[in-house]
A = this chain, B = another copy of it.
C-alpha cells in the first residue's frame, strides 16, 4: 500500500535513534563487570535494532510538552528491558540469528546469555532509580515492572501454544501481553516523564493499539518478509510452529485437505523451502493475510484518531507517521 509521510520521517527517526544509541553507548561504557558478562549483555543491543520503544517514549514526552532530553534515561531503560526479553526469548525458542547476527546464547552459551538477560533487567531499574525525582521513579518502576509481568505471561502462553493459544482470541491476548504491553508502557512512560498524568489513559490506549498492530506486522513479516531485512531465515516462524494471527485464522478457515497439508508441514524444523512455500500459499488462499492486514490497519486508524485529541504539533505528526511506518513497512 502506498502512503506518504507528513514529516521528514526517516531523517527524524535516524536522529532519534542516534540519540538513543549514543545514550546506550555512554551508559555501557560506565558499567564494570566480568568481561564475558559485559560482552554477552551488550552484544545484542549493540547489533542494532529499530529503537522503536524509546522513540515512542521520547515522542510522547514531546507531544505532552516535555523534553526529549529528560526522556532519554527512561528511553534507554525500555530498550534494555526489550533486549533482556529478546535474549531470553532466543534461548527459549533456540533461535540462532537475530538482526542478522548470531544470538547471545549461540555466541556465549546458554548460562551466560541467561545471566546477560538478568543483568540487563537489573540495569533497567537501576537507571530509573537514578534519573528521576521520587514520584516519577515510582510511576516508571510501576509501569515497567507491570509490563515485565505481562511479557512473562505472554511468553508463557507462547511457549505452550497447544495449551494456551487455541483461537484468534487467545492469540490476541497473548500478543497484547507479550508485545503490546511494553509498547503501551513506553507510551505511558513518556506521559510520566512529561508530568502529564492526566493524559495517561488516552496514551495507554494509543500504545496498546500500535503495540498490537506492531506484532501483527511482525508476524506478517515472519511469513512474507525478506530475510535480508528481517535478519531471520525465511520460513523460520513456520518451521518453529509459531502460532500467529494468520496461522490461527488458517486453522479456523482452511478446508480439510488444506488443513491436513498445513499441519503436516507446520512446526517441522526440517521442512524444505518448497514445503514452506506451499504453507504460505495455503495461508494466502484462505484469506488469512488479508484478514490480518485489515485487522492491523483498523488498529492503526484508531491510533491515529486518538492522536487527533492533541493539538497539532511536530511530535503529533511524527507519531502519526510512526503508526504508518509500523503497519505499512514491508507488508
Interface residues of A (CB under 8 A from B): 33-34, 36-37, 88, 91-92, 110-112, 114-115, 117-119, 121-126, 128-130, 133-135, 137-139, 141-142, 144-146, 148-149, 151-153, 155-157, 159-160, 163-164
Asked whether A129 and B145 contact (CB < 8 A) given A34-B157, A88-B118, A157-B34, the answer is yes
> Does the CB pair A37–B152 fall under 8 Å?
yes
| A144: chain B residues within 8 A (beta carbon) | 125
| A152: chain B residues within 8 A (beta carbon) | 33, 37, 115, 118-119, 122
**Complex: A92 Cα to B112 Cα, angstroms:** 9
> Does the CB pair B142–A126 fall under 8 Å?
yes
Q: Which 6 A-B pairs have the closest CB atoms?
A: A122-B148, A134-B134, A37-B156, A125-B145, A129-B142, A126-B145
**Complex: A92 Cα to B157 Cα, angstroms:** 23
Q: List 23 A-B contacts (CB under 8 A).
A: A33-B149, A33-B156, A36-B156, A88-B118, A112-B156, A115-B152, A115-B155, A115-B156, A117-B118, A118-B121, A118-B152, A122-B148, A122-B151, A125-B145, A126-B142, A126-B145, A126-B146, A128-B145, A129-B138, A129-B142, A129-B145, A134-B138, A137-B141
Other A-B contacts than A92-B115, A128-B145, A129-B138, 15 sampled, CB-CB below 8 A, are: A34-B163, A37-B152, A37-B153, A88-B114, A118-B148, A119-B153, A122-B152, A124-B145, A125-B144, A126-B149, A128-B141, A129-B139, A129-B142, A130-B142, A138-B138
* Nearest residue, chain B, Cβ from A153: B33
| A156: chain B residues within 8 A (beta carbon) | 33-34, 36-37, 112, 115, 119
**Complex: A163 Cα to B35 Cα, angstroms:** 10
| A137: chain B residues within 8 A (beta carbon) | 134, 137-138, 141
| A141: chain B residues within 8 A (beta carbon) | 125, 128-129, 137, 141
Chain A, interface SS category? helix
| A36: chain B residues within 8 A (beta carbon) | 156, 160, 163
**Complex: A117 Cα to B142 Cα, angstroms:** 19
> Does the CB pair B112–A114 fall under 8 Å?
no
**Complex: A34 Cα to B128 Cα, angstroms:** 29
Q: Given B149, B159, B164, which contacts A122 in the complex, CB threshold below 8 Å?
A: B149
> Does the CB pair A91–B114 fall under 8 Å?
yes
| A164: chain B residues within 8 A (beta carbon) | 34
**Complex: A115 Cα to B158 Cα, angstroms:** 11
Asked whether A159 and B112 contact (CB < 8 A) given A134-B138, A152-B122, the answer is yes
**Complex: A138 Cα to B142 Cα, angstroms:** 11
> Does the CB pair B34–A160 fall under 8 Å?
yes
**Complex: A95 Cα to B114 Cα, angstroms:** 16
| A133: chain B residues within 8 A (beta carbon) | 134
| A110: chain B residues within 8 A (beta carbon) | 92
| Most chain B CB inside 10 Å of its own CB: which residue of A34, A137, A164 | A34
**Complex: A157 Cα to B134 Cα, angstroms:** 34
**Complex: A92 Cα to B117 Cα, angstroms:** 13
**Complex: A92 Cα to B113 Cα, angstroms:** 10
| A119: chain B residues within 8 A (beta carbon) | 149, 152-153, 156
